[in-house]
Structure 1
Amino acid sequence: MYPLIRISDNKRIIALWLLRCFLLISFFIEISNQRWPILYMNILVIGVSFLPSFLKRIFSISLPFRFEILFLSFLVFSVLIEKVLTGILIELILGMFYGVVGFIIMYIIYMNSKIKINYSLIMLFSFSFSVAIGAIWEVFRFLLIFFLKFNFGEMNEYATAIGLILTITGASIISIVIFIYTRFLKGKFFLNLADDVARANPNLFSISENRVLDIEHIISNGENENVEFKSTLRTNVHTGNIDKKMEFAVLKAIVAFFNTNGGTLIIGVRDNGSIEGIEIDGFDNQDMYYRHFTNLFKKHIGKEYMPYLKTKIIEIKGKHILLVECAVSQHNVFLNYEGEELFFIRSGPTSIILNGRDLISYITKRF
């Protein structure tokens, strides 16, 4: 029987609860030792550990697995530093983490614009974002101390200034590291991290049709849970004939994205990432191609789900591809095909069918 929670979700849950168990143990230890500053820190971090689940349930914002791992590592590291160094360097680590978040936000904004990517401006925004959030945190901490009488340990009149200096230092370090890593060393970790966030939330972010380099970057990374390639919409590349199975495969991928975490389907690209082009489908013009695709969608999925879909035809290397961005559906979506209603979800880079008990359990849990 197919597991209702995907492998990546299992890893998330295990990581989250290992973190919370660690913090709960630390919580009771600090109660016995009456170290109130670290106790408050544990309570705050335990609450923040629920942030990814909160964002997904309330705002339908999905955080990719590698971002959650970075987020969880930051939380654990923060508590360990608080224990060992009594908060001396916590602002430094905060500044670095805020800087990563600022980079992701600005990079995604560039992805959706017609402006050529300028890494210097991205790093400046990353630095400014980190310092701004750090300043807000210092004000928040002051309010906790002044109004609620929270005890953050021994603090003098220079504590806020020192905290801001450490935040600025952390922001400077991470901004320089990311700039050198992405601009000169051609490293892809931070770029892939930003791409993951954008692809996991196609209802929030869309890829500009003028950002051909970004599309090529996505294609070069290959298929995954949020990206799938299809060579054609209706033509069998082996026989050269129109094949209904090709249309079914396209519709199946779209329904699976709707029912899972959303994603991007690129038609006109082979599984190995080579550009085939939608021209092979033999339509007289792009309008006819669009019309055929739209009619297929309305007939087999339903016109009521059109708002969850964004499509663009983009030219790459002299050929055209169809970019299909699928948002997360708030309702279960079935594929009506040859008299049957079929339910698909994503499992890694493939789409799988659920039925019977698995289908009921998944829909009950997910929707």
Structure 2
Amino acid sequence: MTYSSGSLINQKKWILLFHFIIGAIIGVLLLHPLTTMVFWYEYKGLIEFPGNSPIEFLIQRLITEFKFELMPMSFVFALLGGIVGLLFGLYHIRLSGQKNLVRSLEHELAEELPLLIARGESEHLEFKSTYRWDVRQQRTNRALESIVIKTIAGFLNREGGTLLIGVEDNGNIIGIDSDFQTLKHKNRDGFERALMDTVKTSLGGNACALLHCRFHDIENKTICRVIVESAVEPVYYHEDSVARLMVRTGNSTRELDAREAHAYLSSRTTKSFSL
């Protein structure tokens, strides 16, 4: 569904008007009585109020607040409530705009995904058939998870990149529906949760903040796109109490030996100081 600029402006005006009216009603029926209660407690020993209790006084004010002599005060509270309602309305419009922008960007990502796959793997793009489902043995193979996590670590330690899970090395799309069946929650949320849990365990909690999962449907199959940012500090892959340094080189990910790791860390330190 598309909207013209005029219809969008009118829609925003109605949203703001609605929030103003609701705010004004709340101001009169809630804010005014609450202020009255505070006033009663503060001055009950100095001023004679109608009623013997704050509740009686509150009821009396609710009954009389629409009388002519109290209309100016009711109008003030209606205006205050309306202003607060407008602020909430502006926040609602801004939040809706951000959600629409995210949907638009995800739609654009989905449209260009086939072109991305057609280019093939590169330094910033990697394909993985599945996350933990062994296609050859037709069973769950948790060892496959380590391959995925090592690839993510390699991207983190270089310039970032994109990992497509559900795509074979030759670009053939097989999807991750078989992976869903290995999860406790057999859906996209369950897949993302399982992936993030493994990343947290193997790479540390800070790495999770640098990953962004998006799901796309192509040829009636679900693909998980993992967008990986570049990490400021080196990220180590922990396996059997051993910390391994994985780096993306060309279109593959490999572990650096001691000499290479030292040179790599030295180069990162030099870059940090130069910045």
Taking structure 2 as the reference length, the TM-score comes to: 0.57
2:205 corresponds in structure 1 to 303
User: Structure 2 matches for 1:157-176, cutoff 5 A?
Assistant: none
1:285 shift after superposition: 1.7
Partner SS, residue 208 of structure 1: helix
Structure 1, unmatched stretches of 5+, are 1-114, 116-206
Equivalents in 1 of 2:120, 2:264: separation in Å? 27
- Give the partner amino acid of 2:142: K
How much identity, in percent, do the aligned residues show?
A: 30
Aligned residue number for residue 247 of structure 2: 345
Amino acid across the alignment from 1:319:
K
Provide the rounded CA distance (Å) in 2 between the counterparts of 1:351 and 1:307. Answer: 21
- The 3-state SS of whatever aligns with 1:209 is helix
Provide, for residues 266-294 of structure 1, a one-character-per-residue CA deviation record: whole Å limited to 9, x for no partner: 00100010111110112422222121111
User: When the two structures are aligned, how many residues end up with a matched partner?
Assistant: 163
**Secondary structure, aligned partner of 2:107:** coil
Q: CA deviation at 1:242?
A: 1.4
Q: Describe the SS at the equivalent of 1:324.
A: strand
What SS does structure 1 have at the residue aligned with 2:197? helix
RMSD of aligned Cα (Å): 1.8
Secondary structure in structure 2 of the residue aligned to 1:254: helix
1:287 aligns to what?
Answer: 189
Cα 1:331/1:355, change in 2 over 3 Å: same
Q: CA deviation at 1:332?
A: 0.3
User: For each residue in 1:207-264, what CA deviation from the matched residue of structure 2 results, as whole angstroms up to 9, or x when unmatched?
Assistant: 9321222111100100000000000011111101111221011000000001111100
What is the SS of the residue equivalent to 2:169? Answer: coil
- 1:53-82: CA deviation from partner (whole Å, max 9, x where unpaired): xxxxxxxxxxxxxxxxxxxxxxxxxxxxxx
Structure 1 equivalent of residue 158 of structure 2: 260
CA distance, structure 2, for counterparts of residue 234 and residue 338 of structure 1: 19
Where 1:229 maps in the other structure, the secondary structure is strand
- Post-superposition CA distance 1:102-128 (Å, at most 9, x none): xxxxxxxxxxxxx9xxxxxxxxxxxxx
Larger Rg: 2
TM, length-normalised to structure 1 = 0.43
Counterpart Cα distance in 1 of 2:121 and 2:166: 14
> 2-side partners of 1:339 and 1:321: how far apart?
32
Aligned match of 1:331:
233
Q: Which residue of 1 aligns with 2:107?
A: 210
One-letter code aligned to 1:352? R
Specify every segment of 5 or more residues in structure 2 that has no aligned partner in the other structure, as ranges: 3-103, 270-275
SS at match of 2:227: strand
Q: Which residue of 1 aligns with 2:121?
A: 223
CA distance in 2 between counterparts of 1:231 and 1:303 reads 25
Map Cα deviations across residues 168-222 of structure 1 (whole Å, 9 max, x no partner).
Answer: xxxxxxxxxxxxxxxxxxxxxxxxxxxxxxxxxxxxxxx9321222111100100
